[in-house]
């Protein structure tokens, strides 16, 4: 059968994508990083970069949003091999959650062990100010869908995967320690994932606050669920690019979200570099 046709299984399509990527890699990365809105610049500094546009990888979805470059960048961060997504696709673009999480399936088949998910998010907890970084301790899936809905392929993971510990406590601790070491402020918090694309109303943010969410965004949750389904180790870091609706009186604007991402680039990069080094040197 021709490759890439819809009747092949998700697993086979992910294998095909993984083979295509592996053929171009010069390293064997264990750490994958998904770079969120305004945070893609991190991959621009990789040593020995290999860049693969998503449209050259069979089955990879293409981002339709400004500020989300669509390519994989493999390379080294202080000699540690990593694989990064410069830009991701979102549920709000019209993709199914299976499509949104297809790259994560591929990463597992490529042999990656640890997934670092980053995103831009609105701050709900008032202790999180604009430009702050939040380590995700847990999430609330309010997207109205689940990436595991549909037939389960046991080669990936179980039908009913446990979600008691989605975000590795050891990795959370490691981020907090690295932040201390470089004098950056991070706090742990719960990420509420909504479908978007409209930003929330103040009433919705009020509701989210009462549900226990510290920050809100439109990504990360599906990727984290799929990663845990396959037993990848997950770390989540949110960049608080704006205060959520009604927390501040300011209207929310995508350009501001991107600009804040750019402003924290230095701290974000330094933190992530340190985190990659610490993950790599764990025994
Ligand atoms: N809401 C949802 N998603 C976001 C926000 C927000 O305020 N800021 C950045 N991504």
Q: By residue range, what is the domain housing residue 37?
A: 10-282
Cα–Cα distance measured from residue 199 to residue 244, given in angstroms and rounded to the nearest whole number: 8
The answer to whether residue 3 sits within a structural domain is no
The answer to whether residue 18 sits within a structural domain is yes
Closest C-alpha to 95, from 223, 240, 261, 256: 223
The answer to whether residue 201 sits within a structural domain is yes
Residue nearest to atom 3 of ligand 1 (CA): 217
Four-CA torsion 108, 109, 112, 116, nearest 10 degrees: -30
Q: Quick one: pLDDT at residue 145?
A: 98
The answer to whether residue 126 sits within a structural domain is yes
Cα–Cα distance measured from residue 59 to residue 10, given in angstroms and rounded to the nearest whole number: 9
With 0-12 / 13-18 / 19 or more C-beta atoms within 10 angstroms meaning exposed / middle / buried, residue 83 is: buried
232 C-beta closer than 6 A to ligand 1: no
Which positions are catalytic?
Answer: 37, 68, 90, 92-93, 120, 218-219, 242, 254
The answer to whether residue 218 sits within a structural domain is yes
Closest C-alpha to 32, from 114, 102, 144, 89: 114
Residue nearest to atom 10 of ligand 1 (CA): 121
39 C-beta closer than 6 A to ligand 1: no
257 C-beta closer than 6 A to ligand 1: yes
Residue 81 CA to chain centroid, in angstroms? 18
CATH of the domain at 115: 3.40.50.1580
Q: Where are the beta strands (DSSP E) in the chain?
A: 31-35, 47-53, 71-77, 80-86, 114-123, 133-142, 186-194, 215-217, 233-243
- For the residues of 152-168, what is the DSSP string, one character each? --TTT--SS---TT-S-
Atom of ligand 1 nearest to the CA of 194: 2
Q: Quick one: pLDDT at residue 1?
A: 44
Q: Quick one: pLDDT at residue 76?
A: 97
In three-state form (DSSP H/G/I as H, E/B as E, the rest C), the secondary structure along 74-136 is: EEEECCEEEEEEECCCCHHHCCCHHHHCHHHHHHHHCCCCEEEEEEEEEECCCCCCCCCEEEE
Residue 138 alpha carbon to ligand 1 centre in Å: 17
Residue nearest to atom 5 of ligand 1 (CA): 122
From first to last of its 283 residues, the chain has per-residue pLDDT tens of: 455 455 799 999 999 999 999 999 999 999 999 998 888 889 999 999 999 999 999 999 987 765 556 999 999 999 999 999 998 999 999 999 999 999 999 999 999 999 999 999 999 999 999 999 999 999 999 999 999 999 999 999 999 999 999 999 999 999 999 999 999 989 999 999 999 999 999 999 999 999 999 999 999 999 999 999 999 999 999 999 999 999 988 889 888 888 888 888 889 999 999 999 999 998 6
Specify whether the CB–CB gap between 161 and 146 falls below 8 A.
no
The answer to whether residue 222 sits within a structural domain is yes
The answer to whether residue 2 sits within a structural domain is no
Give the number of domains in the chain: 1
Q: Quick one: pLDDT at residue 261?
A: 80
The answer to whether residue 139 sits within a structural domain is yes
């Amino acid at each position: 059968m021709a490759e890439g046709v819809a009747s092949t299984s998700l697993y086979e399509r992910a294998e095909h994508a993984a083979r295509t990527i592996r053929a171009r890699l010069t390293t064997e990365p264990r750490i994958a990083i998904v770079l969120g809105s305004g945070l893609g610049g991190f991959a621009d500094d990789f040593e020995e970069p290999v860049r693969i546009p998503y449209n050259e990888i069979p089955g990879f979805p293409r981002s339709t949003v400004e500020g989300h470059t669509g390519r994989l960048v493999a390379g080294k961060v202080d000699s540690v091999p990593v694989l990064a997504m410069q830009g991701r696709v979102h549920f709000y673009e019209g993709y199914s959650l299976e499509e949104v999480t297809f790259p994560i399936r591929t990463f597992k088949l490529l042999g990656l062990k640890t997934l670092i998910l980053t995103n831009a998010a609105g701050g709900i907890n008032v202790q999180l100010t604009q430009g702050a970084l939040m380590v995700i301790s847990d999430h609330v899936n309010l997207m109205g869908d689940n990436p595991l809905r549909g037939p389960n392929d046991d080669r990936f993971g179980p039908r009913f995967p446990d979600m008691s510990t989605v975000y590795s406590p050891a990795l959370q601790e490691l981020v907090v320690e690295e932040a201390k070491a470089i004098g950056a402020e991070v706090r742990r918090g719960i990420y509420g994932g909504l479908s978007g694309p409209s930003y929330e109303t103040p009433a919705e943010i009020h509701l989210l606050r009462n549900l226990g969410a510290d920050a809100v965004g439109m990504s990360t949750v599906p990727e984290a669920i799929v990663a845990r389904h396959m037993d990848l180790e997950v770390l989540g870091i949110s960049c608080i690019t704006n205060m959520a609706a009604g927390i501040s009186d300011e209207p929310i604007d995508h350009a501001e979200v991107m600009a804040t991402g750019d402003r924290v680039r230095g701290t974000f990069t330094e933190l992530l570099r340190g985190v990659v080094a610490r993950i790599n040197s764990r025994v």
